[in-house]
């Protein structure tokens, strides 16, 4: 099965490739096209803020203007709503915005693009990749003593 975890790992490993989801569909073992909702629910992300937004948009066949706006803002996009312990740059107002990690930043840009293009599978896979990359960052922080267990 081409599962969400494999897709996420592929995205993390080739984070600067902008052809990951265009023309791509996720298939289960018997060859049926999986929907974004199935991918997110399999990854236990269907009930997260962005998981719900993606599923709702898929049912409506488009993201709302509010979804599109929120995806463009570092504080409200999928990266911004990831674990708050991830190191981030501050803007001029003192708000923590984009993450220090280049791979996570790139995934944030990719997520914004997927939402803008109404690519539900791409948005779902990128959300998973953001969560995977966030876990890697937190694991490294924990290992290096920069994060309480």
Distances (CA, A) of 21 to 28, 114, 119, 123: 16, 9, 8, 9
pLDDT reported for residue 117: 93
pLDDT digits (tens, 9 = 90+) for 95-113: 778 899 999 999 999 999 9
Per-residue pLDDT of the chain (149 residues; tens, 9 = 90+): 344 444 444 444 433 333 333 334 444 444 445 788 988 998 899 999 999 999 999 999 999 999 999 999 988 999 888 888 899 888 888 777 889 999 999 999 999 999 999 999 889 999 999 999 999 999 999 988 876 54
User: How many domains does one find in the chain?
Assistant: 1
pLDDT reported for residue 82: 86
pLDDT reported for residue 8: 46
pLDDT digits (tens, 9 = 90+) for 76-89: 999 888 888 899 88
d(CA 137, CA 50): 20
pLDDT reported for residue 90: 85
Does residue 149 lie within any of the structural domains? no
Does residue 148 lie within any of the structural domains? no
Does residue 52 lie within any of the structural domains? yes
Identify whether the C-beta of residue 112 lies closer than 8 Å to the C-beta of residue 77.
Answer: yes
pLDDT reported for residue 33: 57
Residue 133 belongs to what domain range? 4-143
Does residue 70 lie within any of the structural domains? yes
């Amino acid at each position: 099965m081409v599962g969400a975890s494999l897709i996420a790992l592929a995205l993390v490993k080739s984070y600067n490739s902008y052809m990951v989801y265009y023309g791509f569909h996720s298939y289960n073992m018997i060859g049926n096209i999986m929907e974004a909702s199935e991918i997110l629910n399999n990854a236990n992300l269907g009930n997260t803020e962005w998981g719900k937004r993606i599923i709702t948009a898929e049912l409506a066949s488009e993201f709302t203007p509010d979804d599109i706006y929120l995806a463009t803002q570092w504080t409200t996009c999928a990266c911004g709503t990831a674990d708050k312990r991830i190191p981030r740059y501050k803007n001029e107002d003192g708000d923590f915005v984009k993450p220090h990690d280049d791979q996570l930043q790139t995934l944030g840009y990719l997520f914004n693009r997927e939402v803008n293009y109404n690519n539900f599978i791409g948005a779902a896979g990128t959300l998973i990749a953001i969560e995977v990359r966030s876990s890697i960052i937190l694991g490294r922080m924990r290992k290096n003593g920069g994060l309480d267990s």
